[in-house]
Amino acid sequence: MGFNPLPYLRLCRPANLPTAAADIIAGIALAGGFSSSVSYQPFFGDYTSPTLLVIASILLYAGGVVLNDAFDYELDTIERPERPIPSGAVPIRHAFLFGFTLLGLGVLMAFKVNLHSGLVASLLAMAIVLYDAISKKHAFFGPLNMGVCRSLNLLLGISVFGVFNHWYYMIIPLIFIGAVTSVSRGEVHGSNKRNILIAGFLYLIVIFCVIYFNQIENRMGNYYLLFLLLFAIMVFTPLIRAYRTNTPDNIKKAVIAGVLSLVVLDAAIAAGHAYWLIAILLVLLLPLSIFLSKLFSVT
């Protein structure tokens, strides 16, 4: 039988990958990459650096989710035997090799941009492995670690010019993804109303942070609020439903909505620091993620 790449593709969670790219674009917007008032060396007409960072981020994310399944092999054999590794479609040794190769390539891509980007990518790769191998088993440090991974991914985009403008925006994905990860704790067995309440509170903090940071410095007006409203609708609608009917299916839908809505959150962040077209382009990644989510698992 010949090599079948589809199980390896499934391991990479294709529907989630546009959200990784969105973090990078939002980070570049925060760095001033889409503004005419950039005081650092811009890439006007040269998209090599942002393209490399997008590719690096996608490789790092893909490597992370592959290793996540590899480290979960024994548990998935019981709870999710249909997944590529426990089903035998991808041998466990191949999964580890594939995952670490993707991480390594992601780090190398980032170093090709500049030293700062390479160092951030290295920290991100270490945080990914820490989550996959150890911290995800912990009720508090697991979500925190996942939030750190997303924060570093945003910082990877910010590092495009070799400096760290608006680094404090890292708190937004830290809180948001930590909350989404907390909700996912009940995805298999249900009964996680407490986590959902905490997540709802954290979502409100995320919205407040975006508004507050835009009050500090916003050169592009208040149209970011439109994207923030869309984000709020996307995350709270399924979250409320999951609280009212606390079943694994509704919880899974709330988690999927949280993962995919990160694209809209990135658009809201970018909207205060970039031309409106950049935010629109980010939102257009959402239909791509939704389409891919119909073909491949998100969680």
* Tokens describing residue 260: 């995919």
132 phi/psi in degrees, rounded to 5? -60, -40
Q: Rounded to whole angstroms, what are the CA distances from 234 to 1, 57, 122, 217, 250?
A: 44, 24, 32, 26, 14
**Can you give the CATH number for the domain in which 211 is found?**
1.10.357.140
| Residue 279 falls inside a structural domain | yes
Per-residue confidence (pLDDT) for residue 9, from 0 to 100:
96
Q: State the pLDDT at residue 42.
A: 46
pLDDT score at 39: 46
Question: Residue 107 sits in which domain range?
Answer: 10-35+46-295
Within a domain: residue 170? yes
Mean pLDDT of the chain: 91
Residue pLDDT, tens place only, 57-92: 999 999 999 999 999 999 989 988 999 999 999 999
Residue 291 maps to a domain: yes
For residue 220, name the pLDDT band (cuts at 50, 70, 90).
confident
| pLDDT tens-digit series, residues 122-146 | 999 999 999 999 999 998 899 999 9
**229 in any annotated domain:** yes
Residue 114 has a pLDDT of: 96
User: Does residue 20 lie in a domain region?
Assistant: yes
Q: How many domains does the chain have?
A: 1
| pLDDT of res. 216 | 85
Q: How confident is the model over 36-62, as pLDDT tens digits?
A: 555 444 444 568 999 999 999 999 999
Q: Among the residues of 112-223, which ranges form H helices?
A: 115-133, 141-158, 171-183, 193-216
**pLDDT tens track for 265-284:** 999 999 989 888 899 999 99
Burial of 89 (0-12, 13-18, 19+ CB in 10 A): middle
Instruction: Judge whether 41 lies within some domain.
Output: no
* Residue 114 included in any domain: yes
Burial 175-200 (b: 16+ CB within 10 A, else e): bbbbbbbbbbbbbeebebeebbebbb
